[in-house]
Amino acid sequence: MVHLAKGALALTAALLLSTAASAQQRVLKYNADYDPIPLAAMEALIADFEAANPDIDVQLNNFDHEGYKTAIRNFLTADAPDLANWYAGNRMAPFVAAGQFMDVSDVWESAGLGDDLASAKASMTIDGKQWGVPYTYYQWGIYFNKDAYAAAGAEVPTTWAEFVSNCEKFAAAGVDCLTTGSKALWPIAGIFDYLSLRTNGYEWHMDLTAGKVEWTDPKVKAVFAEWAKILPYTTANHAAIDWQDAAALLVQGKAANYVMGNFAVGTFKEGGMTNENLGFMIFPEITPGIPRAEEAPTDTIHIPAGAKNVEDAKAFLAFVASAEAQTKWNTAVGQLPTNKNSSVPADDPFLVAGFEALSGAYALAQFFDRDAPAEMAKVGMEGFQEFMVKPDNVDAILDRLEKARARIYK
């Protein structure tokens, strides 16, 4: 009994000591979903923040990227951290509507972010308030294998008509004109978005994803008609492969073009491509004269409504929004900063091209699954996949999407 009492005493003392140690530091819990490279970059950023604020201890709790998407719903209600990663646009709407994210308009106000982050402000705003801070985005476009172009004797196209006619050259050379992997669905949403943006323009596309346009509209059919032109030249078994498998086809020269986000450059280069034979082009114009809009999904950090250390969380948001922090993080990861005063490394041709593409764009779309509500995104992307496999079913597919639209946006 005596031994037990002694042990208990020692334990209590140890507990007291450890609380005493951390009492000097305020804890800031941060739940995130980084892959290894972004994780290292964020850890470096956190070290900077802690050096500037020695009284704050940021505890980064990193989740698996896919698992995070479902885990966030549990931890927001059950055990809210002080900061959480998520995405801009309609993707954050369920959490905003349910009151799970905190209004951080005051951070935007006091740090002057409305000006610095102007390009991303609209996608962070719901009901006139800002609900988080963007720290990075990246361009989408067409990545192509220059060797495959040379082998097939094709010129890099500047218009959609040229792109389509190139496809015949690639087909003659036994190369897939366009590759993609639709097993996870989202890669083909990028193709649809660009076809839609280029055929009918940004405003119309936004109306479509906002549920204001019927899916049976002739303008929707026009988008699918453009898509049908390249389907015979698209990798045949795309529904069975992931985007990385399709990236391998591009690297091996079995495919010439790939509609993808800039994060794929790392994968292409791991496969052995270099700045010499990997090319990037802006998705070519389809309907002449339509202002060029681009796809630029934005990643964001939010403060959950149940956060305990709101004060320091806001300080961290202001820090992540700053030009220096965004330059550092995005240089390390190879993405674009959302702060207009940040700089982009000049020796990375893809980042430079992306920066030009986005800064010269008329408007930025997020991505189909971020602009449209979750349910519509899922039904829509399944419809796109079915269309790619069975283009003749287009009317039945559009009827189904229209039925879903009528139900989802009421």
Chain residues in the site for another protein (CB under 8 A)? 66, 69-70, 73, 76-77, 94-95, 97-100, 182-185, 236-241, 369, 374-375, 377-378, 382-383, 385-386, 389, 400, 407
Shortest distance, CB of residue 283 to another protein, whole angstroms? 24
How far does CA 162 lie from the centroid of its chain? 29
Number of H helices, E strands in the chain: 20, 13
Q: Which amino acid is at 307?
A: A
In the complex, least distance from residue 275 CB atom to another protein, rounded to whole angstroms: 27
CB of 312 to another protein, least distance (A): 25
Query: C-alpha angle with apex 44: 43 to 45, nearest 5 degrees?
Result: 90
- Hey, what are 342's tokens? 């940040």
Instruction: Tell which residue, 149, 153, 89, has the closest CA to residue 121.
Output: 89
- Is 91 or 198 the residue whose CB approaches another protein more closely? 91
Q: Which is nearer to another protein, 67 or 153 (CB)?
A: 67
C-beta closer to another protein: residue 311 or 399? 399
- The strand ranges marked E within 286-385 are 293-295, 298-302, 363-365
Nearer to another protein, 334 or 383 (CB): 383
Q: Record the tokens describing residue 268, joined without a space.
A: 């292409």
Nearest approach, Cβ of residue 382 and another protein (Å): 5
User: What phi, psi does 158 have (nearest 5°)?
Assistant: -115, -20
Q: Which is nearer to another protein, 69 or 340 (CB)?
A: 69
| Cβ distance to another protein smaller for residue 26 or 69 | 69
| 17 Cβ contact list (under 8 Å, min separation 6) | none
- Give the residue among 250, 290, 242 at the shortest CA–CA distance from 270: 250
User: Residue 387's closest CA among 257, 259, 227?
Assistant: 227
CB of 86 to another protein, least distance (A): 12
Q: Is 256 or 315 the residue whose CB approaches another protein more closely?
A: 256
Closer to another protein by CB, 100 or 366: give it. Answer: 100
CB of 211 to another protein, least distance (A): 15
Long-range pairs of 72-77 with CB within 8 A, sequence gap ≥ 24: 72/31, 75/31, 76/100, 76/304, 76/305, 76/306, 77/306
Please, what is the minimum distance in Å from the beta carbon of residue 67 to another protein?
Answer: 10
Whose Cβ is closer to another protein: residue 152's or residue 377's?
377
Residue with tokens 């994803």, as numbered in its chain: 209
Q: How far is the CB of 349 from another protein (least distance, A)?
A: 30
- Strand 298-302 relative to strand 83-87: parallel, antiparallel, unpaired? antiparallel
CB of 239 to another protein, least distance (A): 4
Contacts of 148 (CB under 8 A, 6+ apart): 170, 173, 175, 253, 255, 256
